[in-house]
Amino acid sequence: MPALTADRNTPRADGDVESYGVAAAALIYAGAIVALSATGFATPGATATTLVTVGRAEERVDNTDGAAGDVKVRVRRGVFQFANSAGADEITAAEIGDDCYIVDDQTVAKTDDTGARSVAGKVVQVDDNGVWVKLGIV
C-alpha cells in the first residue's frame, strides 16, 4: 500500500484485556498466569520453553473436552501478585526490574532453570505475600 494521501480512521484497541483461543484439553483458572503456546493458543502457565506470557486470566475457562480454539479466555495485562519460588529460585528485592520465570500457573521463579522455563514478566515488587509481576505483551 502506498503512504497516506488523506486522513485515515485507524482502528484501535485499548489492549488491557484481550481474548485468546484456548488450547485443546486445557483448563485455565481465573487468576492464573496465561501464556500462548508455540501454536498460538492460550494455556495455563507451566514450566516450558516456548511460552509467551500474555497476562492473567479474567475468568475460568474449561476446554478439556474441546479442540484448540473452541472457546476463548479473556486475559488482562498489568501487574499482579503471584507465589514466590523457594530456595535458590526465590525472588528477592534484588531482582526488582529483572525478568522472572513461569513455574506453574500461580508461581514465578528467579531463574529459567537452565533454559527450561519461559519468561513470566518483570518483577515490580516483592513482599511477604509474593511477587508482583508485570505481565503481558508490550
Q: Is the pLDDT of residue 135 over 70?
A: yes
Q: How confident is the model at residue 137 (pLDDT cuts 50, 70, 90)?
A: confident
Judge contact between 29 and 23, C-beta under 8 A. no
Q: How confident is the model at residue 138 (pLDDT cuts 50, 70, 90)?
A: low
pTM recorded for the entire structure: 0.90
List residues bridging with 57 in a β-sheet: 75
Q: Which residue has the cell 508485570?
A: 134
Can you say whether residue 80 is alpha, beta or left, with left for phi > 0 and alpha for psi between -120 and 50 degrees?
beta
Q: How confident is the model at residue 70 (pLDDT cuts 50, 70, 90)?
A: very high
Q: Percentage of the chain with pLDDT > 70?
A: 99
Closest CA to 27 of 52, 54, 51, 63: 63
Q: Is the pLDDT of residue 12 over 80?
A: no
Let me know how long the chain is.
Answer: 138
Q: How confident is the model at residue 58 (pLDDT cuts 50, 70, 90)?
A: very high
Judge contact between 50 and 71, C-beta under 8 A. no
Closest CA to 35 of 110, 98, 118: 118
Whole-number average pLDDT of the chain: 96
